[in-house]
Structure 1
Amino acid sequence: MNAPDRYERFVVPEGTKKVSYERDTKIMNAASFTVEREDHTIGNILRMQLHRDPNVLFAGYKLPHPLKYKIIVRIHTTSQSSPMQAYNQAINDLDRELDHLKSAFEAEMLKFSRDY
């Protein structure tokens, strides 16, 4: 059909940045981040993590088109922070959370494999 091959959804083309940043010129402390080759999975997790930050006034994402594999994350922060700081903090926090989840899962798997 007209849809691209499945592998194209996740492979970032040569010369393309994974994340690009665009500052909003109309609203102070607001910006958009375009994340290539991602979908609702990352968009929703990132949005929820951003909502945990007390300096974030607004965080949302959208998929511009179902056949274009990118998301646009929009962040508006208070004057105590910047969208770039909030984005980087959210990514680092998610990285730590996922590392903890992986460690806990592996520990439980090790316990389970000893029992049998």
Structure 2
Amino acid sequence: MVYSNSEKIICMDTLQTHKVVITEDKLANSIELSIRDEDHTIGNALASELQKNEDVAFAAYKIPHPLQNILKVKVVVDKSEDRPIDFVKASLDSLINDCESMLSQIYK
């Protein structure tokens, strides 16, 4: 994983070697995740889970170009002392728990 303290352009070479690249925006409370080889399935689920949190001001995803297999997720939190990546981790943990719960119900 690559983490930058300044705004930068994500090149394809970086995404060739890393599954996820995290770019901090100009605002201290905003990040953009670039995720290789993922699509609308995880993008929609993650953005929806992030939007459930009251401290998340904005969460959305996009696939910039259909021929490039890259998903981008933008997260902005209300308070500058909160780290957006912590909300992403919590949302991913929640999605994993939901999937595990559903699987346990199916395989009873």
User: Which digits, 9 at most, give the CA deviation of each residue in 1:22-70, with x for residues without a partner?
Assistant: 0001x23011000110011110001000011111000001101101111
CA RMSD, Structure 1 to Structure 2 (Å): 1.5
CA distance in 1, matches of 2:72, 2:44: 11
Matched residue, 2:30: 30
Which structure has the highest strand share of the two? Answer: 2
CA distance in 1, matches of 2:47, 2:59: 6
What letter matches 1:16 in structure 2? T
User: SS at the partner of 1:22?
Assistant: strand
CA distance in 2, matches of 1:57, 1:30: 10
Matched residue, 1:4: none
Percent identity reads: 29
Shift of 1:20: 1.0
Structure-to-structure mapping, 1:1-116, within 5 angstroms? 16-25=17-26, 27-79=27-79, 81-107=82-108
Matched residue, 1:6: none
What letter matches 1:62 in structure 2? K
Task: Spell out structure 1 runs of 4+ moving beyond 2 A.
Answer: none
**What TM-score does the superposition give when structure 2 sets the normalisation length?**
0.80
Aligned residues: 93
Higher Cα Rg: structure 1 or 2?
A: 1
Structure 1: stretches of 5+ with no match in the other structure: 1-14, 108-116
